[in-house]
Copies of this chain bind each other. A is one copy, B any other.
Amino acid sequence: MFTMRPVGFVRSPYTETRQVPKGCGAKHEAEGLIEILPEFEEGLLDVEGFSHLYVIWVFDRAGGVCLAGAPPTDDRPHGVFATRSPRRPNPLGLTVVRLLGRDGRRLRAAGLDMLDGTPVLDIKPYLSSVPDAELRRGWLAEAEARRSEG
């Protein structure tokens, strides 16, 4: 077992889960703050040079674990490790945010899909992308294709 502590919290416009855009073509353009706790501010040195960051956070208001279920984008069940469901064995969220600026221990960011008050466990620089031509997106691409045919 491993014990994790928040290094900061998200300030976002979303106060309820139903407000967060979900499913195929959902756009995550929400802007807000990632507020790092004062004792970890030194860890932000030079973070402002990166255009994008990974944020690892906790689904602190998710209930229980569901190993296979139907996501909002499909009517067929898929394993939790093949989806972004909050009902995971470890309730970890991962979001790529666009960094708009830094004001001391506050990062202004776009692309948030977390609820206001969400605990943040880690931030990492986004260094490189997988080229689109190499990506396969499994059941999600199939569900999108069925939807556009329907």
Contacts and interface: CB of A to CB of B under 8 A. Distances in A.
A27 to B, nearest CB: 12
B135 A79 contact: no
A92 B67 contact: no
Interface in A34-76: 36, 40, 42-54, 56, 58, 60, 67-68
A134 interface: yes
Chain A contact residues: over half helix, strand or loop, or mixed? mixed
A51 B125 CA distance: 22
A117 to B, nearest CB: 14
Given A119-B2, A135-B129, A137-B125, A49 B82 contact: yes
A137 B2 CA distance: 31
A67 B121 CA distance: 14
B43 A67 contact: yes
Interface in A67-103: 67-68, 77-84, 88-92, 94, 96
Contacts of A119: 2
A131 B52 CA distance: 11
B2 A51 contact: no
Nearest to A34: B81
A146 interface: no
B138 A49 contact: yes
